[in-house]
């Protein structure tokens, strides 16, 4: 079997869908991180496609290496790895379709048939505490039993309004009570001392995990926060390869690793990262913002891993994107059923890709 074509489609949602075509008629589906969609899709078309044409897509590891090492000076993180992720996921989809098995089976079988998800709610810096609390209430009504609130501060707005963050957490905790888990993500927006002080208050109120408390590049600072607090500190959406995760684990001392499968090199590399995490006894809770192909790829990996039993990130059902598929992912009672069809277990609905294609 040989790869005959690789095509990218940027959707009106800025999602980047990758299709890998073969000489045997099988077509694989993949997805890249949607940030900087035009640049990432151009990287697939101009840099990766010429290097994978003619390769056997079932040799996922070799395809990964060809994409990684030849353009080494162009990236090794960011756009390069995000572009690779879409092609890698599509090759796994082809491998599964070729042998008639879901990807989780190819990865060694599954520990779970359904995966418990947490609702990830962002935009906190622009909301009043009561507005965020209403969103948390809505998430519980949708069936979630775990929620994360995100502030979106970023390192450039360091310590902008910790008092409001605390008021927001308190208001949301009143909604969840002890029935649902509540996590907090200032999106790298605290100094080390503020992160520790806030963290102690969140611990008193009851926090499940504390995500990216300080700047993503400050590994010594993350380690100080993780050392000072009991709550699990998590990070990983800014890291890409197993080598970066080695440093995140050993230098930043995070308690939970959060690679993103549409950023960090697809299923091939994210599995390596997950196994590295297991080596250090770190739970695997991938960052995920893409609720269809990206989430499906994650579900197969999560299902196959012993260290993936915490609630997993989900931005919620997106009917506009679900319309892409004949049989979209099924979410109910706070859980998504792991697909059982060959490959990813997702089939495009006829004409849907064209209908959702971005006009730009």
Question: Which residues contact Ca ion (rule: CB under 5 A)?
Answer: 185
Decide whether 187 or 268 has the Cβ nearer to Ca ion: 187
Q: Which residues contact 5 (CB under 8 A, 6 or more apart)?
A: 19, 20, 21, 49, 53
Between 185 and 255, name the residue whose CB sits nearer to Ca ion. 185
44 vs 121, which CB is nearer to Ca ion? 121
Distance CA 311, CA 37 (A): 29
Closer residue to Ca ion, CB minimum distance, 213 or 342? 213
Nearer to Ca ion, 120 or 241 (CB): 120
Q: Three-state SS for 337? A: strand
**Alpha-carbon distance 111 to 113, whole Å?**
7
Strands (E) located in the chain: 3-10, 16-22, 27-32, 114-121, 146-150, 181-185, 210-211, 233-235, 256-257, 312-314, 331-332, 335-337
Beta carbon of residue 88, minimum distance to Ca ion (angstroms, whole number): 23
Considering beta carbons, is residue 88 or 185 the nearer one to Ca ion?
Answer: 185
- Token pair of 57 as six digits: 């897509």
CA distance 20 to 5: 6
Q: Are 210 and 199 in contact (CB under 8 A)?
A: yes
Show the CA angle centred on residue 213, arms to residues 239 and 296, nearest 5°.
45
Q: Which helix (H) or strand (E) holds 85?
A: helix 78-99
Q: How far is the CB of 235 from Ca ion (least distance, A)?
A: 8
> Shortest approach of Ca ion to residue 229 CB, angstroms?
17
Considering the complex, state which of residue 93 and residue 185 has its C-beta at the smaller distance from Ca ion: 185
31 neighbors 25 (Cβ within 8 angstroms): no
**CB burial readout 275-312, b (16+ within 10 A) else e:** ebbbeeebbbbbbbbbbbbbbbbbbbbbbbbebbebbb
How far is Cα 98 from Cα 340, in angstroms, rounded to an integer? 15
Residue number closest to Ca ion, CB atom = 185
Q: Measured between alpha carbons, how far is residue 274 from residues 101, 151, 258 in Å?
A: 22, 27, 9
Minimum distance of Ca ion from residue 259's CB (angstroms): 12
Instruction: CB nearer to Ca ion: give 107 or 285.
Output: 285
Six token digits for residue 316: 């919620």
Shortest distance in whole angstroms from residue 287 CB to Ca ion: 6
Nearer to Ca ion, 185 or 239 (CB): 185
CB of 164 to Ca ion, least distance (A): 18
Distance of closest approach, residue 307 Cβ to Ca ion, in angstroms: 19
- Minimum distance from CB of 252 to Ca ion (Å)? 15
For the bound state, the minimum distance from the C-beta of residue 212 to Ca ion, rounded and expressed in Å, comes to: 5
- The gap between the terminal CA atoms of the chain, to the nearest Å, is 34
Least distance CB 258 / Ca ion (angstroms): 7
Nearer to Ca ion, 69 or 217 (CB): 217
Task: Report residue 116 as tokens.
Answer: 């418990």
């Amino acid at each position: 079997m040989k790869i005959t074509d690789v095509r990218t489609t940027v959707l009106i949602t800025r999602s980047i869908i990758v299709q890998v075509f073969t000489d045997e008629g099988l077509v694989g589906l993949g997805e890249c991180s949607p940030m900087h969609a035009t640049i990432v899709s151009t990287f697939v078309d101009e840099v990766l496609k010429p290097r994978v044409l003619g390769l056997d897509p079932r040799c996922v590891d070799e395809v990964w290496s060809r994409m990684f090492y030849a353009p080494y000076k162009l990236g090794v993180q960011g756009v390069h790895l995000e572009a690779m992720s879409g092609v890698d996921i599509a090759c796994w989809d082809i491998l599964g379709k070729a042998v008639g098995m879901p990807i989780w089976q190819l990865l060694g079988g599954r520990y779970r048939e359904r995966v418990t998800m947490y609702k990830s709610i962002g935009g906190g810096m622009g909301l009043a505490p009561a507005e965020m609390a209403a969103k948390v209430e809505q998430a519980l009504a949708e069936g979630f039993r775990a929620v994360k609130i995100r502030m979106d501060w970023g390192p450039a707005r360091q310590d902008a309004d910790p008092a409001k963050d605390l008021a927001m957490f308190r208001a949301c905790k009143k909604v969840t009570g002890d029935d649902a888990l509540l996590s907090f993500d200032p999106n790298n927006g605290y100094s080390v001392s503020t992160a520790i002080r806030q963290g102690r208050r969140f611990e008193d109120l009851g926090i499940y995990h504390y995500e990216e408390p300080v700047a993503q590049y400050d590994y010594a600072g993350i380690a100080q926060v993780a050392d000072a607090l009991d709550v699990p500190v998590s990070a990983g959406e800014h890291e890409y390869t197993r080598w970066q995760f080695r440093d995140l684990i050993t230098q930043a001392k995070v308690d939970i690793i959060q690679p993103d499968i549409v950023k960090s090199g697809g299923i091939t590399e994210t599995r390596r990262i997950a196994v590295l995490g297991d080596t250090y006894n770190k739970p695997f809770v991938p960052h995920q913002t893409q609720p269809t192909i990206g989430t499906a790829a994650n579900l197969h990996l999560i299902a196959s891993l012993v260290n993936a039993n915490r609630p997993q990130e989900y931005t919620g059902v997106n009917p506009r994107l679900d319309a892409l598929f004949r049989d979209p992912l099924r979410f109910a009672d706070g859980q998504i059923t792991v697909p059982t069809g060959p490959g990813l277990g997702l089939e495009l609905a006829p004409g849907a890709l064209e209908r959702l294609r971005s006009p730009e």
